[in-house]
Structure 1
Amino acid sequence: MPVAKRLSDGRSPILLDSHDLQARQFMLMNKNIPWLRPHATYEAMLAIELESMRGADLLLHVNIEEHETFSQLLPEKLHALLYPAGPEAPQGPGGDDIVIVASNNTANVESVVWFLREVASRAPEIDIKIIGNIDLGMRSAAPEEYRRYRDCFVGRVDDVRCVYENARLVLLPMVEGFGLSIKTLEAMASGLPMIATSAALRGMKDDVMGLREVTIADDAESFSRALKRKAREPRHTEAQRRASGVRAYFDANFSQAVYRRNLEALVGSLLENGRRR
């Protein structure tokens, strides 16, 4: 913010695009590091964060939860909801893989631990592939589960797009985390059917819950039932994936074209209001 102020020199408006409430993210990351003393409290970090944000003329927020939170914390500022442009993913040709994509962070580790302990044990006949470097976190955080399900862990892949290209079903068993989930956006872009907890859809409008390809399952029993049912269904063709409701939702809310159009409108409005003043 100090750099932005110097560059604007009081003549250009400043837009701040906030990605997550940072104080929450730090608290989440630090809770599993018992040897790190809490040098800063959540309240202290939040105060610093808000003070920096006060220097902007317009605050842009990437999801609904943050928009509501910051609007309450900084009611004197202008706020706007601006979904980010999500990552593209191929819509086929498709394969037989049932996948979980997860990098090695606290929220993902806790979510995969929950899935293996509570869900996978109820559906042992179904093969799952767990993609990403989360295997590193699982080895230390849940060694017993890692040993038991070691064959499920594929590890890091150079191009995650090939995972969606050859998959038939995406699992999003998230039980922890803040902010919009990039994994969820990738799954939507692929047009694949998905089984997800409500937490995986955080930060989006409620209409996402009604998409035909999305099965919501917030407890282990319902998740395992959905997994068994979906595993028996024929895989979607490339044409079906391209025409799916989740892909249409992605295009309407998270495509590059929509992001550019919405950002241009916000910038134009801010500049116009500045000229009027």
Structure 2
Amino acid sequence: MHLVFATSIVPDGTPKSGYEIANAAILGALSRAGCRVSVMGFAWQGREACSIADDTVVLGEMDPRTEAAGGLQKLRWLARAMTRNMTFSSAKMLLASTAQVRAALDGLGPVDGVIFNSVQFAGAFREIFAHLPNIYVAHNVEYVSAEQSARAARSPIARFMFGREAKLLKTLEAQLCADAHFIYTLSEDDRQVLGVADDRRSAVLPLVAHAPVEVTGDERRTDYDAALIGTWSWAPNRIGLDWFLEQVVPHLPDDFRIAVAGDAPPSLAQEHPRIAFVGRVPDAVEFVRSGKVVPLISRAGTGVQLKTIETFELGLPSVATQSALRGISYKPENCTLADEPRAFADALVRAAGSPVDLDGRTFHEEQRNALDKAVLHGLQQSGFGRQNEAA
């Protein structure tokens, strides 16, 4: 069985964002199910290309982050989106032409089907694959995230852009679900919102992130009381970070040491001088393990929070909002649920005062087994069938 995994960014062996970690987990499950998968999409501009697998078709290089683009590039994306009546995120994919994508597909030889990985690539090129049966992977309900971002936007232009994106995404996601032979979501709530909550039509993919760290009994070396990392340029993540900085941090003791890793605007460091903004870090696992407790601060978005899964796999103490636990069926004993700012702050202080690490291997193994089962179910419902015994 030969499937094309059509995605915005192709894996390069160094997954950094939650989106890339999720892709690696899904591709691993497809491989264990016996599928031959050819990946098609764009390489992340500036990263080493030597780690890109041989069965990958690279259509070009791009940096998909809006905040990393110059003013002229943003205007080009906007012009394409407006003239083609498509989403801003899909307009970025038009770096490649329709003819180039069609030629790339033809060059793969006989193909049995396509997996549209989220909406960006599909929104630009799905007509090219219309003759093939397809599976749609809904990482999020994108239109809901866009609506939340529009409500949280601090400028009229941003509200307009997110509002426009939400309207187009709602139509696009409905079309992708209607056309798909099967839909994978990352949370049960997303099946309901998308209107596909039927086991014959969809399944939830429990994800894995990293191999769990074995708890040895030795005391973990820490540099901070709390450490959190994220892609803060993504609007739903930024909503959670703003909530944490503006509403939770004021309730914490002045000597409570907090470090934030990941891309963050320089203005945040100026506005919150007591927080250590450390930027990109070479090893995300090592960084989060340097904190006594991990704040899981999601307040918006859909899908599943990969940072929650990573934290549970690593067995680290955490304090989580209800939103951070969406799509998670099991909450470890060293995770405290808190949605009110003062309660969240108090729980952080308690957890940092006597941190307890757990062994995350059982969580990881159960997630992976459930992921393999769900992927295989979707392949069978799509008519692709079982290729060999899933591991």
Within-5 A mapping of 1:62-141: 62-71=186-195, 78-88=201-211, 90-91=213-214, 94-96=220-222, 97=224, 98-104=226-232, 105-123=234-252, 124-134=254-264, 136=265, 139=267
- Distance in 2 (CA, whole Å) between partners of 1:76 and 1:64 is 11
Deviation sequence 1:24-53 (CA, Å, 0-9, x none): 233344552532545736344312321232
* Contact 2:297–2:321 (8 Å) recurs in 1: yes
Task: Give the TM-score normalised by structure 1.
Answer: 0.76
- Distance in 1 (CA, whole Å) between partners of 2:165 and 2:257 is 43
- The Cα of 1:91 is off from its aligned counterpart by 4.8
- The Cα of 1:179 is off from its aligned counterpart by 2.0
SS at match of 1:195: strand
163 and 129 in structure 1: CA distance in 2 versus 1, 3 angstrom threshold? same
* Contact 1:90–1:161 (8 Å) recurs in 2: no
- Distance in 2 (CA, whole Å) between partners of 1:143 and 1:35 is 25
Q: Structure 2: which amino acid aligns with 1:264?
A: L
SS at match of 1:35: helix
272 and 28 in structure 1: CA distance in 2 versus 1, 3 angstrom threshold? closer
Q: Structure 1: which amino acid aligns with 2:365?
A: D
112 and 76 in structure 1: CA distance in 2 versus 1, 3 angstrom threshold? closer
Q: 1:264 maps to what in 2?
A: 376
* Contact 1:101–1:130 (8 Å) recurs in 2: yes
* Contact 1:164–1:190 (8 Å) recurs in 2: no
Pick the aligned partner of 1:35 from 147, 157, 172.
157
SS at match of 2:380: helix
- The Cα of 1:272 is off from its aligned counterpart by 7.9
Deviation sequence 1:205-254 (CA, Å, 0-9, x none): 3x43xx31110111122112112211211x44xxx532x5xx5334312x
Percent of matched pairs sharing the same residue: 18
Task: State the aligned residue count.
Answer: 249
SS at match of 2:169: helix
- The Cα of 1:75 is off from its aligned counterpart by 7.4
* Contact 1:111–1:176 (8 Å) recurs in 2: yes
CA-based RMSD: 3.0
Pick the aligned partner of 2:271 from 117, 120, 145.
145
Q: 1:50 maps to what in 2?
A: 174
- The Cα of 1:89 is off from its aligned counterpart by 5.4
SS at match of 2:336: strand
- Of Structure 1 and Structure 2, the greater strand share is in 2
Q: Unpaired segments of 5 or more residues in structure 1? A: none
Q: Which fold has the larger relative contact order, with Cα–Cα distance below 8 Å and residues 6 or more apart in sequence?
A: 1
Q: 2:363 maps to what in 1?
A: 249
* Contact 2:142–2:302 (8 Å) recurs in 1: no
Pick the aligned partner of 1:227 from 348, 355, 364.
348
180 and 167 in structure 1: CA distance in 2 versus 1, 3 angstrom threshold? same
Q: Structure 2: which amino acid aligns with 1:86?
A: A
- The Cα of 1:143 is off from its aligned counterpart by 6.6
Q: Unpaired segments of 5 or more residues in structure 2? A: 1-125, 386-391
Q: Structure 1: which amino acid aligns with 2:204?
A: L
- Distance in 2 (CA, whole Å) between partners of 1:143 and 1:27 is 28
